[in-house]
Amino acid sequence: MTYTNEARMLMRMNANKILRLCSCIFVYLFVIYSCWGPLRVCAGERNGITGAPVLQIPLGARALAMGGAYTAVGEDLYALNYNPAGLSQITAHELTGMFVKGLDDTRLEFFGYGQPLPLRGLAGEKYPVVAGSLLLSQNGEIEFNQTNPDGSFLSSQKLSAGSDMVLSLGYAERLGETSESYGVSHSMGVVGKMIYSTLAETYHARAFALDAGYLAQLSEFHSSFGLSLHNVGSEIKFIDTADPLPLLLRTGLSHTAFFHDQRLILAANYDYLIHEKNWGLGGGMEYTHDSFLAFRIGYRAHTDLEGVTVGVGIRQGEVSLDYAWGMMNSLEDTHRLTLNYRFGKMEIQERIKIRRRTRDPESDSIPIQEEKKPLSPENQEKRKKEGIPGWIY
């Protein structure tokens, strides 16, 4: 069966309307739940009733330094963990790595890769983004002692207290603009995750989860609004004990101001752990000078990592290095160091042309009208003598 160009255009227009309607419903449900969540907190917090705590560890030095207020800001691979829709802002091949050394020989490693795809997404917009990451966590060591039947000491050995591996695969794309006068663009993204955990090198558990995110960007006012829901999936079960994953709702706002070669980002975040009925707030700012040096500061409230966070970032060409320091209440401070490498960057003008292309989905050509230069006085006089109206030129 073949379709005419008009039929294809109508089908794609209907698909765009359905996707935008779904995004509106998605936003509506999130706003309702984010307003309802704090009312449930008064019933009392229930900490420690979920499994896979590795899913709650903040990742990325830039995000941590801004107090975790990254839901409406994330424009790199760490959007995988804060708002999958932010992946749609990636305009180049990107590699990242992070290493954290914690208390009692605990450590955390994160590796990620993402890139735009040279094709159209479900909404008809070009260059959707795919990304993947690997998160490895080691929870230190424990001493395992064996005894004889009479209670005397037999042997002793050190075992890994526990470890976690989280494998993620994400997809995001722009849905288009709904207001040409204010330039409101919409993006959505999803992330699928596989979580594999071990305890004392003996017990094993596996779980699968899905994250979803929405991002609205108001280019006229340089502001963004983000919503995301994380860890919707199966329980994680050791032997006969099963725990739900930490179901997390995030909302965020951000605003960017530009001053010549300087940029200032202000951001705020609200997190709500649904099973625990616990909430947290985060706020931060980032000042960037000449796209080379960035200073960041933030504050986290009502969380395990409550307190002030600060950080710095340096970018030289395609490589950037970010560092963050944060308080952990009365425990030892936490540090983050991330390294990013971007290559094969897509020109921003190319994205602008794609958004402003003609409505014909079968054509990638962009009609460009050449600017007509004014005629010289001699040529204007010549045209008048030839009887051709001068206003045409």
Is 390 domain-assigned? no
Domain count, the chain: 1
The residue type found at 299 is Y
**Assigned domain for 317 exists:** yes
User: How far is residue 205 from each of residues 81, 107, 157, 230, measured CA to CA in Å?
Assistant: 21, 20, 23, 19
Residue 28 sits at the vertex; the CA angle it makes with 208 and 286, to the nearest 5 degrees, is 75
Q: Dmax of the chain from CA atoms?
A: 122
Within 8 A by CB and 6+ apart from 12, the residues are: 124, 361
Strands (E), 274-362: 278-289, 293-301, 307-316, 319-328, 331-343
pLDDT (mean) for 9-32:
54
Block residue for tokens 């995750």? 193
Q: Each residue of 34-71: pLDDT tens digit? A: 555 454 444 445 566 888 889 988 899 999 999 999 99
Instruction: Specify if 275 maps to a domain.
Output: yes
SS (H, E, C) 277-301: CEEEEEEEEEEEECCCEEEEEEEEE
Tokens (6 digits) for 6: 């008009």
- Nearest CA among 19, 112, 123 for reference residue 74: 112
> How far are the Cα atoms of 49, 50, 211 from residue 46, in angstroms, in the given order?
7, 9, 23
Task: For residue 364, tell me if it sits in a domain.
Answer: no
Half-sphere exposure of 320 (CA within 13 A, CB side): 21
Instruction: Report if residue 258 sits inside a domain.
Output: yes
Q: What is the domain extent for residue 33?
A: 5-355
- List the one residue out of 193, 197, 195, 196 whose CA is nearest residue 160: 197
Quote the CA–CA distance of 354 and 342 in Å, as a whole number: 22
Q: Is 380 part of any domain?
A: no
Q: With contact defined as beta carbons under 8 Å apart, do 80 and 299 qualify?
A: no
CATH number of the domain encompassing residue 192: 2.40.160.40
Q: How far apart are the first and last CA of the chain?
A: 49
Render pLDDT for 133-180 as a digit per residue (tens, 0 to 9).
999 998 877 776 777 777 777 766 777 778 899 999 999 999 888 766
Q: Which residue from 272, 273, 276, 203 is spatially nearest to 236, judged by alpha carbons?
A: 203
> Which pTM was predicted?
0.75
**In this model, does residue 75 exceed pLDDT 50?**
yes
- Tell whether 179 is covered by a domain: yes
For the segment 208-244, what is each residue's pLDDT rounded down to a tens digit? 999 999 999 988 888 899 999 999 999 998 888 889 9
pLDDT over 70 at 283, yes or no: yes
In a domain, residue 69? The reply is: yes
